[in-house]
Structure formats: C-alpha cells, structure tokens
Structure 1
Amino acid sequence: MQMTNRVPDWLTPVAWTYIVLSLCAAAYIAADIYLRRRRQTTVAGELVWITAALYLGPFAIALYRDNSKPTAHHQPAGTQPTQPESAAIAGLPGGGASAVAHLIGVPLVIASGLTIAGIDLWVMIIVIGILAMLLLFAYERSAGSAWRPTMSAGAAATAAVLTVLAFDIGMGGWMLLLHFNEFMPPATDGSFWFLMQVGIVLGLVTGYPVVRWLHRSSLGPRHAART
C-alpha cells in the first residue's frame, strides 16, 4: 500500500498503549474461560469473547462479565435459563471475524504484492471481506446460540455475506477515508493496527441494522413455537 503517514506523532504511544491493553484483555478472558474453567456453551462463543478484546480492549471485559453465557455446570443453582442476547452482543462475531481477517489478510496482501490500479488497498479490502465471510459462516454453522435455531448452510452463508457487506460500509469506508486523505500509516506501525481497531468498531455500528434484523427474524413466532 503506497501510504503517506500524516498521522500525528502523539497517536503512536496512544496506539501501543491501547494495543497492549487489548492483548491483556484477551489474555484475561482466555484465562477466565480456560484456566478458571468458565467454559461457554460453544467453543465458537468462547473465541468470540477473546477476539472481541482485540478491538474493544478493556471494554470487552465489562461486556464479557455482563453477557457471557457459561455452561449449565457453572450456573448457580436455581438460575433461570440465559435470556436471548441483544442485537449489539450478537454483532460481536462479525467484529471478531473482521479482527482475525485483518491479522491474516493484511500481511498476506503485503507479502503477495498484489494491487488493483496500482493500489493494494482494494485487494486488502476484498481479501479481508472474503476471509471475514468465511469465518463468520463457520461461526454461524457451529455456534448454535440459545436465541437462534441451527441454521442451514444457505442461511448461514446469507447471514455471513449480509453482515460483512454492512460491516464493510464502516470498516472499508474508514480505510478508504484514511488512505485518500493520506492518514494511513504503514502496517508495521502500531498506529495502523489501532486505526484498524477503530474501523472495526465503526463496522459494528454500520452492521448493526443488519444484525438487528437477522436477530429479530431468528426470534420470530416460528422459533418461539419450536421452543
């Protein structure tokens, strides 16, 4: 990516501080799940909480404490079944898929040297989008969350594609804005990854209407009748 770094110098220490806090938050959640044995209902759900910390940082810990769903073995006696999660929490798998897709896709595109019209940003957005769709599809097929019936492959693929496309309005738009205003630092700079964390949060915002619609449709009368 032919980038000009006009990002102010003060952003670098801020970026590294937030990145370190994010890694610590991910380690805390992973330790709580696997060392303290507060296992979730699915492995996919556990990975969603860990990856949420990669972009939400310490804020993910508060969400995890309030909204995580440990298995029945860890539920206090007499506790009622877990209530369906909110649409905002239901959007976290998309954020996690994007975070992992960035970690894989950015180095892959840079190493490949592929460009479109001489700019590798276009390739990066496409590769990240495809990877995010595949990861989210895998989540949809394996999660089996309490508020959603098991999806068919076609329904899971549709949900993944619609979610990522809506998500990319924020994430991809943010990347384009940074690039064409010459505020995109090189990928070797911590501020690049911090700005990508910001972009993922923006993606959660633009993806929310689609996630909310999918969330509501899965909680419709037909699903209620089955339960």
Structure 2
Amino acid sequence: MDMQMVNRVPDWVTPIAWIFLVLAVVSAVVITVDVARGRRHGSVAADLVWVAAALYLGPAAVVLHRRHVARTADATRDSEPSPAEVGLPGGGASAVAHLVGVPLVIASGLTIAGIDLWVMIIVIGVLAVALLLGYELLAGRAHGAGRRPPLARAAGAAVLTVLAFDVGMGGWMVVLHYNELMPPATEGSFWFLMQLGILLGLLTGYPAARWLVERGRSVPA
C-alpha cells in the first residue's frame, strides 16, 4: 500500500465513507450500552466480538446483536448458531487488527520490495491470529464451564480462520493496490474500503469457520 501511489478512488466514495464510518461508531456505542445494560452474549469475549462487528457492519450489527440476544434468551428456539455468529469472531479480529496494524506499519516505514502492502497484510494477519486465539481461549472456557480449551486446538482454529479470511480480505487489498484504488490511511475512504474487504473476508472465511464450529474446534459469537 504505497502511500505515493495515485489515488483513483472516485470522489463520491468519500461522503459515503464518512457517513458509514459515523454510523459504525454510533452502532458500536449502542451495542456497548446494550451490553452494559444486560444484553449479554455469554462471555466478555463474545460481547467484544459483537461490539467489533459494528465497526464493519454498522447498524446491521445492532439488529443482529439484538436478535441474537432475544434468540438465546428463548430456550424454546433452535440453538444452532447462525451464519453471522459463526463468522463474526474472524471479522472482529480483522477489524481490530486493521485499527492497530495499519498505523503501526505506516509509523514503522517498513516495506517489502518497496511496498508496504505486504507488510500490512502480514502484520494484520498476525494480529488477527493473536486476537482470535485469545477469543477462542476465553470464549471456549466460558462455553466449557470453566475448562480452558487446549492451546494447540485454539491456535489451529485461529490460523485456519485467518488464512481463509485473508483470501477475501488480502485479495481485496491487492486488487485495490494494483488498480491504484488504495487511498492514504488518513482518508475516510481507506477505512471504508477496508470495511468492504472485511465483508469479503467473511464470505471466504465462512466455510472454514463453519467447519471448525461444527466439529467443536471453534466457538461462535
């Protein structure tokens, strides 16, 4: 993501980006308030995943969050996790990893072959694995009545999820970069485009995440 590249992103993307970014922040605050008032998801780790979901789903995360709370509170309903519950941990890890990793790489000035895109993809991937590992351990312990899941199993689930997720997210970043559609990270359009990339990551990562959940190797949100 060479910051010296020509920015060919259409001007109309900027106002849309800022509107959605504001809605995303407001949605994250709404979910945080809901959690503080008792609309919980079974563990602190799961609560944080839902707050992070608002960073890329915006108001849709609020709707899904409240539906999930209502469904889990009704013991007569099907307890099988929905597609959203399966994919949200990976999406949340990616969203937070972007917020931390992008400024870190820019500040470091590190590049590979003169391009910081590759460093960003690596750093974001490593951070996402670490965040998912923490989630799997904390959420797994909550779901397992206090028994912490094996570290190797949690680490394997985190790595597989991030690799599958990066097919969409990393691929999107590469497409933007080589088509000169990657604006500087100081612009709202950059973060909006990263949010779209996270949605693509949810699509490519879903089969792996679903497979892990069905075999009891991962914990849904």
Work out whether the TM-score is over 0.5: yes
Q: Secondary structure at the match of 1:49?
A: helix
Q: Deviations over 1:158-212 (max 9, x none)?
A: 0000000000000000000000000000000000000000000000000011011
* Residue identity opposite 1:164 in structure 2: V
Matched, 1:16 2:14: no
State how far apart, in whole Å, the 2-side matches of 1:184 and 1:13 are.
16
State how far apart, in whole Å, the 2-side matches of 1:62 and 1:183 are.
31
Q: Which residue of 2 aligns with 1:130?
A: 126
Q: Which residue of 2 aligns with 1:139?
A: 135
State how far apart, in whole Å, the 2-side matches of 1:165 and 1:83 are.
28
Post-superposition shift, 1:88? 3.5
Matched, 1:26 2:28: yes
The residue correspondences of 1:82-97 to structure 2 (distance < 5 A) are 83-97=79-93
Q: Secondary structure at the match of 2:130?
A: helix
State how far apart, in whole Å, the 1-side matches of 2:86 and 2:67 are.
14
Q: Which residue of 2 aligns with 1:212?
A: 210
Post-superposition shift, 1:37? 2.5
Post-superposition shift, 1:216? 1.5
Matched, 1:161 2:159: yes
Post-superposition shift, 1:41? 1.4
Q: Which residue of 1 aligns with 2:193?
A: 195
* Residue identity opposite 1:26 in structure 2: A
State how far apart, in whole Å, the 1-side matches of 2:50 and 2:76 are.
22
* Residue identity opposite 1:11 in structure 2: V
What 5-or-longer segments of structure 2 have no aligned partner? none
Q: Which residue of 2 aligns with 1:52?
A: 53
* Residue identity opposite 1:85 in structure 2: P
State how far apart, in whole Å, the 1-side matches of 2:45 and 2:70 are.
12
Contact 2:105–2:120 under 8 Å retained in 1: yes
Q: TM-score, normalised by structure 2?
A: 0.90
Contact 2:157–2:212 under 8 Å retained in 1: yes
Q: TM-score, normalised by structure 1?
A: 0.88
- From the superposition, tell whether residues 51 and 69 of structure 1 become closer, same or farther in structure 2 (CA, over 3 Å): farther
* Residue identity opposite 1:171 in structure 2: M
What 5-or-longer segments of structure 1 have no aligned partner? 220-227
Over the matched positions of the two proteins, sequence identity in percent amounts to 61
State how far apart, in whole Å, the 2-side matches of 1:169 and 1:136 are.
17
* Residue identity opposite 1:199 in structure 2: G
Contact 2:164–2:208 under 8 Å retained in 1: yes
State how far apart, in whole Å, the 1-side matches of 2:57 and 2:41 are.
20
State how far apart, in whole Å, the 1-side matches of 2:144 and 2:71 are.
15
- From the superposition, tell whether residues 69 and 142 of structure 1 become closer, same or farther in structure 2 (CA, over 3 Å): farther
- From the superposition, tell whether residues 69 and 132 of structure 1 become closer, same or farther in structure 2 (CA, over 3 Å): farther
Q: Secondary structure at the match of 1:196?
A: helix
Contact 1:41–1:69 under 8 Å retained in 2: no
Contact 2:86–2:209 under 8 Å retained in 1: yes
State how far apart, in whole Å, the 2-side matches of 1:106 and 1:205 are.
22
Post-superposition shift, 1:83? 1.1
Post-superposition shift, 1:93? 0.5
